[in-house]
Structure 1
Amino acid sequence: MKFSQKVLASLVALACITVSGIAAANDNASANFSAPSWQQAKTVMDQGKAIWMLELENDSFLLNRDDKFYTAGDHLQKTYVVQSDLHSVEYGWRIAQDLYTPSDVKLLPSQLASNDHPYAGWLYGGIFNNNVDVTGKSWRWGVDIGCFGQCAGGARTQAQLHRLITQPLPQGWSTQYHNELGVVLSGEMSPGRLLPFAGVDITPKVHARFGNIFTDLGAEVAIRFGRLNALPYQPASYGFLRGDMKAVAYNATIEGAYFSKDIPKVHAKTAGGEIELGYVWQAGKYGATASIFRRANEIKEMSNAVGAQNVVRLQFLYAM
């Protein structure tokens, strides 16, 4: 059974209260963030630096020839950034495709376990606005619109990739949920960073998503250590450790899109999270990030030992 609209509304209301509380506690921060507007976006795009980012997330990067659960995410982003010594403002767009599969893609539809992760694809594009103060205070909003289901092209993408890297072809994409237009609103806020030691900082954040594909609320803490940058895209070389916990109201990749008539094959757990360890390098026009994150089991009917997975995340930046 899907979560009711009352539960969804309560979750979003809680996110808004949390974010508003953080904002109120930081009225005296050094940056005065202005509300996003078309005029501001046009100014940033006209005057700002253009930065391309390619992000690849895949469990096959672990070289274990294993595909399961969240198996691949390919994200291309272009952002325009205007920075002063104290503040960074950026507007951007992105296109992306995320793929999800059962624990063994070699299994035929008739062989899939009743508690396994369904096949699912999510193809989307979106816009976003990100504001960061030199103290680490930040807020970000975004909206993504796309297609969930067969129209996301997951079957073709994964088959072509597996032919390229000589891995077994997936056999069960015919079982994925039906098509649905998806819309997801997202927001994120941080009250600022703590500086306990030289070369170390700690940044807490709250984040929320609301839509018919994902609806959740989370909190994370990131610790950076090394040659740190105060604002995004400044020269840096550091390691990081990030922990994230979230409450989940809906996850279409597990239960099917919210307005579809599909009967959920399994159900999403109401709590989840992940931990990530990685390294960031940024110098001049170029930047790169390499990390591995471990995501907790997301399916109620599956044991935590079986449902957890490891995924590699790679990011490549180029400033024009």
Structure 2
Amino acid sequence: MAGRASSPVARRDGGGVMAALSPAVAACRLAVRQALAGVQPGGLVLAACSGGADSLALASALAFVAPRSGRRAGLITVDHGLQVGSAERAAEVACWAGRVGLEPAVAVPVTVDGAGGPEAAARAARYEALAGTAARLSAVAVLLGHTRDDQAETVLLALARGGGPRGIAGMRNRRIIDGVPFIRPFLAVSRAQTRAACTDLGLSPWEDPHNADPAYARSRLRAALPVLVDTLGPDLVDNLARTARLVAADVEALDALAASAGTAATEPDGSLDVAALTGLPAAVRTRVLRDLALRLGAPGAALSSIHIDALDALVTDWHGQGPVSLPGGIEVGRRGHRLAAHS
């Protein structure tokens, strides 16, 4: 666990006496305060908390900041049921939350049995539980504890897997899932800062053994990252996180162009006009084609560049080939100057 910060800054307690507030705690609270600036006043904001250092620091910061900014604060902890004692640990997190003023504080059990491997299945189950619980509680936002280090790891994993700009853009600051805003206040806060904040606040984070399990690619990368920092320099994590921010801005701009181009190319029956697509830059055209695939019901997580390239060939390299098979049992074919679902 990180040691106590050496240069605390001053704050006033309720009696006007100056007390020490460590830079790590201040950084976490400032990040949450900035994130809440765009959240509906008076609404309920929930912290997603596993009991690890990142989410524990997040929940603690929310408990402090929310009532001072005119918002209510609660907590959700998800029990994946993958480890012995997970239910008891989730109950302990919820109990702690109640003691620090996070109300409601709920522990939600899930069953992890989806496709894509245990990590992907657990993530899908977790987000479904978070979104469903937030909707049931009429929460206006859910806060997630991903840090700058998590963002850097996400960028490296995307590069290693040959991910395009959307993967390199990493995790978004804000994302809507099933109508619920999910916000990541800590993408500019380091993992060391969240650990230091927990130490300074007297909190004891839970260490998830999965984070050190070499069966998971992210765990292997996390173990190797210090070597990369030693090799490439101490600014590596900051630079990777900055790369994600820069690429995310480009992705957002291209997505907006594609949305406009897609609207212009879409016929009343939902098909796409090939002539309208032909003159588009490839980065815009392939986004329009991806949007078509999603609109027809193809699951986004299963769509790959191979599928999009095959759709693009129907536009740019048409020689009478048959329809393209997409995930979800969907087929898209070309009829004359139109692309549409093949039946």
TM-score by length of 2: 0.25
| Structure having the larger proportion of residues in helix | 2
Higher strand share: 1
Q: Which structure: larger Rg?
A: 2
- Tell me the TM-score normalised to structure 1 length: 0.26
